[in-house]
Amino acid sequence: MATTPTSTPAPKTNRIGLQVLDYRGGKTTLCAGCGHNAISERIIDAFYEMGIQPENVAKMSGIGCSSKSPAYFMGRSHSFNTVHGRMPSVATGAALANKRLVMIGVSGDGDTASIGMGQFVHLMRRNLPIIYIIEDNGVYGLTKGQFSATADVGSKLKTGVINELPAIDTCTLAIQLGATFVGRSFSGDKKQLQAMLKAAIAHNGTVMLDVISPCVTFNDHEGSTKSYKYMKDHEEPLHDVNFVPHFENIEVDYDPGTTANITMHDGSSLRLKKLEEDYDPTNRVTAVKRLMESHEKGEALTGVFFVDTQKSSFTDLLNLSDEPLALLRQEQIRPGKEVLDKVMESLT
């Protein structure tokens, strides 16, 4: 009897015909169980699901285990591993040279809040279009686990050393300085982090996401406030984060009384279902106040704290040519002797 040949199902593809494999990078060399690996997975899924061409993405980072992680996602994208703490200036140059690139910067709490702080604050106030992720484990993982400036007062190293200095809250800072999409998530909160990353891709301006990302080797013990157990026990989501991309056009019912609906630049919808209170994610002042209260209460608050879709991005402010600077032809960027003569004449 003839057997019917079994056909293998076609691999699943996204809206531009690519498979999730097309968004993968090299094999990770980070410790098994490191939170940074989970964040790489979410980045892969978010870019795949949003259907972004990998060649249109530039991955920027500094130095640290976190800053190594761009090697482990989107191997077809552009990539630049800068000097420690200097990723913002290199990213700014790249974004101005080619404003069509989707910029994603991956940094660590040490890379950002210590050596890179000067660069970080200026990046935030410029509102450069970039997704800036801090993979925040409260320690310098790569150099064997010293406290970083985001470690909470009272948290303890394995050696018994207790941190007595106040933590820098990078979200509060970013909101005060002018970033236009600021949130905090947890590498173990797959649904929330995925939705936030997709919304970040749809945003035009600086997205600053502080993602608590436990370091299993140096900071995952009792007494740490950046451990898996601590986050599982203390994570306090401000809202249920949902994202509806513009190309899905799904009419999801929501109650405007309990859900804040934010329309992103590309027409996608970010829907924040309030879980605990009347929180307005478009108000900078109350966002900072809520973050400060959360520290006093000892909560590990997560969610999208602040969004502003109206403020001009740095590239919009500079009124750059439609054609990216990097793609302009020689004759367009060198106006020639006649033009120079005219300028000189106008100065006499």
41 belongs to the binding site for ligand SF4 (CB under 6 A):
no
Using CB under 5 A, which of 54, 70, 88, 108 touches Mg ion?
108
Residue 194 binds which of ligand TPP, ligand SF4, Mg ion, none (CB < 5-8 A, kind-dependent): none
Cβ-closest position to ligand TPP: 108
CB closer to ligand SF4, 199 vs 211 = 211
Dihedral of CA atoms 308, 314, 315, 318 in degrees, nearest 10, equals 130
Is 125:178 a contact under the CB 8 Å cutoff?
yes
Is 175:169 a contact under the CB 8 Å cutoff?
no
The distance of closest approach from Cβ of residue 227 to ligand SF4 in the complex, given in angstroms and rounded to an integer, is 11
CB closer to ligand SF4, 54 vs 108 = 108
Is 230:215 a contact under the CB 8 Å cutoff?
no
130 belongs to the binding site for ligand TPP (CB under 6 A):
no
CB closer to ligand SF4, 105 vs 145 = 145
Considering only residues 92 through 111, tell me which ones interact with ligand TPP, judged by CB under 6 A: 108-111
CB closer to ligand SF4, 129 vs 141 = 141
Which residue intervals of 64-189 are DSSP H helices? 65-68, 87-97, 109-113, 117-126, 170-177
Using CB under 6 A, which of 103, 142, 151, 208 touches ligand TPP?
142
Tokens 């948290």 correspond to what residue?
A: 155
Stretch that binds Mg ion, among 119-127, 132-140, 186-194, 320-328 (CB under 5 A): 132-140
Dihedral of CA atoms 210, 237, 232, 203 in degrees, nearest 10, equals -30
- Write the burial class of residue 259 (CB in 10 Å: 0-12 exposed, 13-18 middle, 19+ buried): middle
Which H or E run includes 302?
strand 300-307
Number of DSSP helices (H) and strands (E) in the chain, helices first: 12, 13
Using CB under 6 A, which of 143, 263, 282, 321 touches ligand TPP?
143
Is 175:121 a contact under the CB 8 Å cutoff?
no
**Site pattern 25..44 for Mg ion (x: CB under 5 A):** --------------------
Count of other CB atoms within 10 angstroms of residue 255? 8
Residue 143 binds which of ligand SF4, ligand TPP, Mg ion, none (CB < 5-8 A, kind-dependent): ligand TPP
Residues binding ligand TPP (CB under 6 A):
63-66, 84, 108-111, 115, 135, 137, 139-143, 148
Residues binding ligand SF4 (CB under 6 A):
30-31, 34, 36, 65, 137, 141-142, 215-218
